[in-house]
Amino acid sequence: MHPIIVKSMKVFTTNQSLHSCLASLKTSASSLGFVPTMGALHQGHLSLIKRATKENENVVVSIFVNPTQFNNTGDLETYPRDLNQDLKRIESIESLGEIIVYAPSEAAVYGNSVTKEAFDFGGLELQMEGKFRPGHFHGVGTVVQKLLDIVGPTQAYFGEKDFQQLQIIKKLVKISKTNVKIIACSIEREPNGLAMSSRNTRLTSAERFHASKIYDVLKTTKGKFSDTPLDEITKWVANQFEKDAIINLEYFQISEQLTLQPANKIEPQKKYRAFISVYIRNIRLIDNIALN
Ligand code: PAF
């Protein structure tokens, strides 16, 4: 027999209303899943929410465009915001329980001081995205800690597309001794392999088609990893994009998975990943792949 699908959703914009709802739900045995987002929800987000609804009695999804993680004010101003559209997408999820949406104001999250804390993530913040988006991870760390404190989840879900962010959040909860399990969810891809992202909608259909090359290059990198020197792989990747009139490579890096330090030599007991960032016009796309 199929389970009865109950589709229901509650939306809160203040901490007080969220807390009184959570207090009415919580029993000591129940688990609360949390999916933090900045809205502009796509299938990748929906898969995190679906997984959270399967693994927890109750689920909170936050929708909050965090000002402190943008290192470019133009990017913050043009970031897509459409709460009604996002709510419709969440409502379309088949869930046995209720999904609680938390869509706070800036003041609800930050009070009257919209500032970011400076963290020491042990060097994780200095690689890749940290180099190209200075201050970004301090903003992410600041808001994620605030949201975890407000929501108080048992488990929080993050996508591996932002793998560096995921490692930083694991470190954040260790440093702050926050009692939450961080769950890593695998990358959702479009049929042509392009990693799902809110930014994909800004690509023309020709660009979106062509962008499949990013994942193709990562897959070939994985194939080369066991028998090709790392510097040769890096040169090969640079070469693939040098000839490309549409995609501009920003960085490609093979890193050890836990520290994110660039790999110089391969140690068989360690895990490695390749990370890439490219531009198509002014649209920045990132992706990564596990190599071993
Ligand atoms: O990955 C995101 O969407 C954001 O960085 C997050 C984790 C919701 C914090 O604003």
Do the beta carbons of residue 63 and residue 102 sit within 8 Å?
yes
Mind listing the pLDDT tens digit for each residue in 182-210? 999 999 999 999 999 999 999 999 999 99
Q: Which of 185, 206, 235 finishes a domain?
A: 185
Look at ligand 1, atom 6, and give the residue with the nearest C-alpha.
Answer: 37
Q: Which of 158, 185, 212 finishes a domain?
A: 185
Q: Write the single-letter amino acid at 32.
A: L
Q: Write the single-letter amino acid at 224.
A: K
Ligand 1 atom closest to Cα of residue 66 = 10
Instruction: Say yes or no: CB of residue 143 within 6 Å of ligand 1.
Output: yes
* pLDDT at residue 28 in the model: 66
Do the beta carbons of residue 196 and residue 270 sit within 8 Å?
no
Distance from the CA of 36 to the center of ligand 1, in angstroms?
6
**Domain identity same for 240 and 165:** no
* Active-site choice (19, 45, 138, 210): 45
Distance from the CA of 265 to the center of ligand 1, in angstroms?
32
- Calpha distance 221→182 (Å, rounded): 28
* Residue of 83, 80, 22 whose CA lies nearest to 56: 22
Parent domain of 102: 4-185
Look at ligand 1, atom 2, and give the residue with the nearest C-alpha.
Answer: 37
**Domain identity same for 233 and 127:** no
In a domain, 180, yes or no: yes
Do the beta carbons of residue 102 and residue 18 sit within 8 Å?
yes
The CATH number that applies at residue 258 is: 3.30.1300.10
Q: Looking at 1-10, 17-26, 38-47, 261-270, which range is the least confident one? A: 1-10
Q: CA quadruple 143, 149, 151, 157: dihedral positive or negative?
A: positive
> Tokens in use for 36?
């933090």
**Domain identity same for 41 and 161:** yes
Ligand 1 atom closest to Cα of residue 169 = 7
* pTM (predicted TM-score): 0.95
**Domain identity same for 58 and 164:** yes
Instruction: Say yes or no: CB of residue 61 within 6 Å of ligand 1.
Output: no
**Domain identity same for 119 and 29:** yes
Distance from the CA of 266 to the center of ligand 1, in angstroms?
31
Q: By CB neighbour count within 10 A (0-12 exposed, 13-18 middle, 19+ buried), where does 147 fall?
A: buried
| Band of pLDDT at residue 7, cut at 50, 70 and 90 | low
Mind listing the pLDDT tens digit for each residue in 82-134? 999 999 999 998 876 789 999 999 999 999 999 999 999 999 999 999 999 99
Q: Which of 157, 185, 213 finishes a domain?
A: 185
Mind listing the pLDDT tens digit for each residue in 49-83? 999 999 999 999 999 999 999 988 888 998 999 99
19 in active site: no
**Domain identity same for 86 and 206:** no
